[in-house]
Amino acid sequence: MTPAGGRPGGAPSSPAAAGTTKPGSPPDEPHTYQVRTEDDLLTVRHAVRAASQDLGFPLVDQTRVVTAASELARNALVHGGGGTVAVEPLHRPGGVGLRLVVSDKGPGIADLEGALTDGFTTGSGLGHGLGGAQRLMHTFDVCSSPGAGTTITAVRWRTR
């Protein structure tokens, strides 16, 4: 039994961890975190670190998934006006992994190909977040259209 399911929202003391999952729920249920502030980004980072650790990811892969989650959550905050991050452990016959679903109801990504290109930004960042996050994960699906918000679903599998 992995302790992931027993960790209420991943950060019990933080009001930001407005998880939809009850304490003691099965380990494979997603925990959902609100992203409205910089502090919420920290909560997401800690939760993803803990979940990937519980799944037995090597340290370097924990860091990959944490970095991807952090970049996507920051995009939801900065470009999407806030959103949610769902963190879901996957236990499949084919392997063990972690799924991130990062969603916002912001303006959407008008030029997805451009947005995935390093150096492309409509803000004041470096424009490396989205493409970098894609490279750090095994699957990466973007669902976004102007005015309809953005949902990114990404999975990284444990490789050893």
Ligand X SMILES: Nc1ncnc2c1ncn2[C@@H]1O[C@H](COP(=O)(O)OP(=O)(O)OP(=O)(O)O)[C@@H](O)[C@H]1O
Point out which residues bind ligand X (CB under 6 A): 71, 75-76, 79-80, 104, 106-109, 115, 120-123, 125-131, 150
Q: How far apart are CB 75 and ligand X at their closest, in Å?
A: 3
Q: For residues 17-76, which are near Mg ion according to CB under 5 A?
A: 75
Nearest to 21, CA basis, from 96, 77, 89: 89
Selected binder of Mg ion within 129, 134, 154, 156 (CB under 5 A): 129
Q: What is d(CA 10, CA 135) in angstroms, rounded to the nearest whole number?
A: 26
**Which residue lies nearer to ligand X by CB, 41 or 55?**
41
Q: Which does 84 bind (CB under 5 to 8 A by kind): ligand X, Mg ion, none?
A: none
Q: Which does 100 bind (CB under 5 to 8 A by kind): ligand X, Mg ion, none?
A: none
**Which residue lies nearer to Mg ion by CB, 78 or 90?**
78
**Which residue lies nearer to Mg ion by CB, 2 or 121?**
121
Q: What is d(CA 40, CA 87) in angstroms, rounded to the nearest whole number?
A: 14
Taking the CA atoms of the chain, what radius of gyration do you get in angstroms? 15
Q: How far apart are CB 31 and ligand X at their closest, in Å?
A: 20
Q: How far apart are CB 134 and Mg ion at their closest, in Å?
A: 12
Q: How far apart are CB 148 and ligand X at their closest, in Å?
A: 11
**Residues 15-21: contacts with CB under 8 Å, at least 24 apart:** 16/40, 16/43, 17/43, 17/47
For residue 15, with 0-12 CB atoms within 10 Å meaning exposed, 13-18 middle and 19 or more buried, which class applies? exposed
Nearest to 103, CA basis, from 143, 66, 130, 158: 143
